[in-house]
Amino acid sequence: MNETRDETQQRLIHRLEAFSDIIIGFSLAQLALSLAIPKNGAAGLLEHPEPLIAFIITFALVCSMWWAHHKLFVHFFVPVPVMVILNFITLAGVSFAVYSVQLMLHVSPAAPPGRKPVSGHSSIDFAFYLSSLAVVYGLLAVQFFYGWRVRRKLLPVKVAYDGLRSVMVLGSVAVASGIIVVLTLRYGLRTAGLQYFSYAVIVFAIALRLLFRHLEKRQTIPAHAADRPAP
């Protein structure tokens, strides 16, 4: 009975992982197809690089979502109904994040003659984009935390530590995105704020990386000291 149950769970995990890869891959393809071709070709894209910047940043974010999702399924995904539902909602969030790029960069049809069209003219568009990111990273953090609680004693110490670190990173990104959503709605940030958001993400990622390196050194130094022979 136990062998049959384990085999059924592994089959479910493999099917969910394959289905998730299809959804994420299709979202990346849809992201490229959502780029509108300027009337004057590449020159127009260079004059108004906002869609290209949004494409690069969103592509990188979706790839990071895929990597986090992969790490989740390797060690920490528990095939219970709640986790399966959260996984589906996460995939819906990834798809909506790609769709919200089109909302954020759509061209305003009300632009006066002779003036440049305005893209992302509403701060709500930007808030939708950030909200989808907050939902995805937040749900990934919840799934990592649940899997870490269930399986931390069954995994190697380093793997369990990496899972807890993923909870901290993903949860921090979700909280930061949520805070920016509130600031966006409160102070009316527009698409130009995407550049500042990307800078903040880079600085935040570097700061977390330095923090985790410091914590790892503090853990390894006492271990090495304990291995030294007593005088």
Q: Is 70 contained in some domain?
A: yes
Count of domains for the chain = 1
Give the tokens for residue 140.
């990934």
107 — phi, psi (to 5°)?
A: -90, 130
Range of the domain at 15: 2-109+116-193
Q: What is the pTM of this model?
A: 0.76
pLDDT digits (tens, 9 = 90+) for 190-224: 555 555 665 666 677 677 767 777 766 766 544 44
How many whole angstroms separate alpha carbon 19 and alpha carbon 24?
Answer: 9
The proportion of the chain whose per-residue pLDDT surpasses 70, expressed as a percent, equals 68
Closest CA to 68 of 193, 195, 205, 203: 205
The predicted-structure confidence for 92-149, as pLDDT tens digits, reads as follows: 999 998 888 877 766 555 445 455 544 445 677 778 888 898 999 999 999 999 999 9
As a whole number of angstroms, the distance between CA 141 and CA 173 comes to 10
For 21-42, what is each residue's pLDDT tens digit?
999 998 888 887 776 666 666 6
Measured in residues, the chain has a length of 231
Q: In a 10 Å sphere around its CB, with 0-12 CB exposed, 13-18 middle and 19+ buried, how is residue 189 labelled?
A: buried
Domain-located, residue 139:
yes
- Whether 131 is covered by a domain: the verdict is yes
- 226 occurs within a structural domain: no
pLDDT band at 226 (very low <50, low <70, confident <90, very high): very low
Distance CA 66, CA 61 (A): 9
Residue 96 lies in a domain: yes
Expressed in percent and rounded to 5, the helix, strand and coil fractions of the chain are 80, 0, 20
